Structure 1
Amino acid sequence: MEASYDFETDENPETVKEYLINPRNLIKYVPNFKDLKETEDGWELYVHWLFTIKLKIIRIVSNDEISYLIKKSEGMIKLNANLRFIILPTKNITKVKLVFFYQGPFESFAKRQADEFYKRGAKIFQEDLKKKTVVQTNEGSEVPLYAMRTILAKKVQKQEIESILEDAMVKSVDKLIVLILSDGKNTVELTFNKGDVTSQKGDVNSLKGEITVIMKAP
């Protein structure tokens, strides 16, 4: 079974991607999704339908797509599913196409769940993006993170992170800098102000392999 749905927002593609790569933002869309636990290679999702089942989730991230592979291969009930988000930037809005694939028992029930996922998600998606992090500039005013300009966007290896951090520190002497680092699984957000790190979310040491760098300024 396969179904597709469309979202759209006036937020920029980078903000949309930051939101979609966090699976905890998405489990709110379905009340039956009860708990999400991170593992070494993905997550375990506990779902209560007719009974509680444990699903294995692996995330795959590319330039304009985020896919969540969902699988249950143990026990009597076995299933494979895929949530694929495709980010489609246009001149004035960012469109997101969601393609849902499901193979397993209770297909009609899974389709109803997918429809509910979309109905609830379309509203929560908009509300969540409007509540994105607000940062304070050197002048004392507050600016939403999504409204800040992207002054650097590139992919680097971990050994290059030190120079990226030094660059952000230097640039922050006369303007606020927010640096976002992600390896597809772990995300780190650092705010620099007047040459110092003023806030940090996540651990730089957790990053591995190729790392996406996004640097923002007011």
Structure 2
Amino acid sequence: MGTYTKIFIQFPPDQVFWNTSYQFLLYADPVERGYYPIFQSLDGEGFLPGSGIIFVTVVSSQSYVVESQDDQITKDQVLAVLRNMFGPENVPEPIAFMYPRWSLEPWAYGSYSNWPPATTLEMHQNLRANVGRLYFAGEATSAQYFGFLHGAWVEGKTVGDKIAGLIKGTIQTEEVHYDPLHGTTFVDEYDATNGFILESTFATYGLK
């Protein structure tokens, strides 16, 4: 599982101190890499104009740090960064502050699935294979879009269509399950049977 933590801060709408025409604001800490590096404004056209909301994203080891500490420590750290960026006199106290702790959720232990090196399509198919009448869907079961929201949507629709077909009797097939695994994915196995449709993926890695 990968970690990806979004920390949301709301300031009084009449005291917004950043340029709301910019979507992203970057910070490079002089000491620690990845220390509250990317701020994104939600107080802008196409998002939530007039909301006074901005959020900062941390990943990897920084996610584990902020998700294991209390809100006050994190809020103080984020405000220190913003006051370093914009000047202490320009950054007021926030009126709201929150962030999720996905790495601590017992049903998730992370923000999104992240395949380790040498994971094969066979291994992934075994992860997504049904167990009798129990079928699985989510971004983690997508061979092409694991870790992305649209992977969850595509997999949910695919499994829903398959279950509907089984109920109606129009299809009889189950998900692929490999036993044993041969430990390698060959080019000709990147196909629909293995949940990988070359025509629709954004990451074909030269397989076309």
Please classify the TM superposition score into its range, dividing by the shorter chain length: 0.3 to 0.5
Structure richer in strand, relative to its length: 1
The higher radius of gyration belongs to: 2
Structure richer in helix, relative to its length: 2
